[in-house]
Structure 1
């Protein structure tokens, strides 16, 4: 059975040119209006986006500021509680703050060789740390590369490092006084011998953890030892070496305070001991904060230095 479907002739009649042009123009206007509507931001979306951005910014700010502020507030609260419980033999935070304002109003005065401002004492300590730490870096980092690179040197020096590293820093001070016949070189010697171990150990560990495939390729290519050191070992070892440097500078700053308490002269450690002899507890607490802030600044400076000199491949 065959069924036929009939359509009106108008349905299949070709459109006239005028009708086609009108249809194209109408379609273009509709498309442009839809695009403009889609690209135009609504009034309700802009304030909502601004509110979300402000919420995210404030959240980031409070997460960065609030925890340190709470920790500092907890410290001050415990300090005030201890001061009240000891009959104020330990000064209160407010009394110490007033004393700190007076101390830092003129930190670079000189009234004699043993009576100088806190600024001169900090600079003297930093000078000793720079000399002792610099000598330790000059000796310790190449020694770490050699010990990590050659198995014979590693077996030779590992027992010596394990023996000498745990020795207390102050145990080295009498040896320095005996050998160098002076308090200043003895303090520098103590910084040197105590800050060299982190750099030697971390550098050697970094060299030993270089993938063996890299060294095999260098052997196949007949690279010189200098090329192996500069092109393969140094980029790979740099993070370990910088970790050793950060640990060493913290140790150096820690040691100089104890060494200066015993050797005397000018320095932040001597200033603490001198204020104890004068029974000036406020200045001792101020010195504790100064020592901590200077150590924090040294740590931050080394982090910036490490970021600046780290290769992009190591950083990622």
Structure 2
């Protein structure tokens, strides 16, 4: 009688010992294999200035490329003989003096700026004259506009009654106010200030009043629970909630102020960037007019960005 066959249990089932795979195998290292040890690899963070430069390049480079493309199209379209509109190369050739010497007869001594009276002034002198008028008129419109907006915004009845009137007045073009301002003040300087004031005040009033109207009810309830007096309520509740609305109106207002003063100076004469444009047109210096338009656009862009930057700083502080 033959002896029974011993089977070994494996993953493939029960097999004879000669067939079954070994339960374990010895791992033989590769000869002369280098030992590998984990090493800490330092992570190099980009320099803050490099990140800032990259962000600036990402924002500015597309604009510069588009500007070059537009200048190229302009040059191709107007660079041929018989073109009625000057090309960029012609603007540079004929208005080089205006471009290279913008501060002609303008003396800057610290914070004191002296501009020679008369028309023989560089284009920057005319811009500074206009900015002085805008600064005064816009300051008045901002002060009265914010105050009136806060008062009107606290009364729903007053807001509903006055909002349609303000909406109508804000659509009146700046030049339409010029005859009224001349009739009231009889002088070009005060008339220009009034024109800036009456043009810029409406968006400031409307946006400030809207901000007061849109204060969340929970904020008002917090003020009542804490028994805040009117001054504390204004500083801690109303001002932080309405600052974004205020500066939205101020940004619109500063742009309208710049538009108004240019239009007023074109009609009234004297000095200012508006007068420079009109004088260049009457002298058939179309290239000087184009240079002035570029200055107007750049200054308007800068004013908008400055007011927006101030608004962001104020919003963080309050």
Q: Smaller-chain TM-score range?
A: 0.7 to 0.9
Correspondence 1:260 to 2:256 = no
Q: Is the 8 A contact 1:82 1:90 kept in 2?
A: no
Match of 2:205 among 196, 200, 203: 200
* One of 281, 304, 308 as aligned partner of 1:299: 304
Q: In 2, Cα distance between the equivalents of 1:229 and 1:56?
A: 40
User: Hey, what does 2:163 align to over in structure 1?
Assistant: 158
Q: In structure 2, what is the equivalent of residue 136 of structure 1?
A: 141
- Counterpart of 2:10 in structure 1 is none
Which residue does 2:73 correspond to in 1? 78
Residue 108 (1) aligns with residue 104 (2): yes
2:89 aligns with one of 90, 94, 102: 94
**CA spacing shift, 1:232–1:75, aligned 2, 3 Å:** same
1:223 to 207, 214, 228: 228
What is the root-mean-square deviation in Å for CA atoms of aligned residues? 2.8
Q: 2-side partners of 1:164 and 1:209: how far apart?
A: 23
In proportion to residue count, which structure has more helix?
1
Structure 2 distance, partners of 1:268, 1:76, is: 24
Question: What is the count of residue pairs matched by the alignment?
Answer: 271
Q: 1:214 to 1:287 in 2, by over 3 A?
A: same
Give how far 1:230 is off. Answer: 1.2
For the Cα contact (< 8 Å) 1:96–1:282, is it kept in 2?
A: yes
Match of 2:61 in 1: 66
| Alpha-carbon distance in structure 2 between the residues aligned to 1:158 and 1:58 | 46
Whether contact under 8 Å (1:194, 1:252) holds in the other structure is: yes
- Counterpart secondary structure, 2:85: coil
Distance 1:272 1:308 in 2: 35
Structure 1's unaligned 5+ residue stretches are: 1-32
Q: Which runs of 5+ in 2 are unaligned?
A: 1-35, 106-114
Report the Cα offset of residue 141 of structure 1.
0.4
Equivalent residue for 2:39?
A: 38
Distance in 1 between residues matched to 2:259 and 2:282, nearest whole Å = 21
Residue 97 of structure 1 deviates from its aligned partner by 2.3
Larger strand share, 1 or 2: 2
Q: Distance in 1 between matches of 2:52 and 2:189?
A: 51
CA distance 1:68–1:196, change in 2 (3 Å): same
Tell me how far 1:190 sits from its aligned partner.
0.9
**TM-score (normalizing by structure 1):** 0.77
Q: Deviations over 1:255-294 (max 9, x none)?
A: 1111110011100000000000000011000001110111
Distance 1:284 1:239 in 2: 36
The Cα of 1:66 is off from its aligned counterpart by 3.1
Decide whether aligned partners of structure 1 residues 119 and 63 sit closer, same or farther in structure 2, where only a CA change above 3 A counts.
Answer: closer
Aligned match of 1:281:
286
Q: Is the 8 A contact 2:163 2:206 kept in 1?
A: no
Q: Distance in 2 between matches of 1:169 and 1:58?
A: 41
Q: In the alignment, which residue of structure 1 is the partner of 2:251?
A: 246
CA deviations 1:101-147 (Å, max 9, x no partner) are 41132533288623322122111100110111000011000111111
In 1, distance between residues paired with 2:70 and 2:125?
Answer: 28
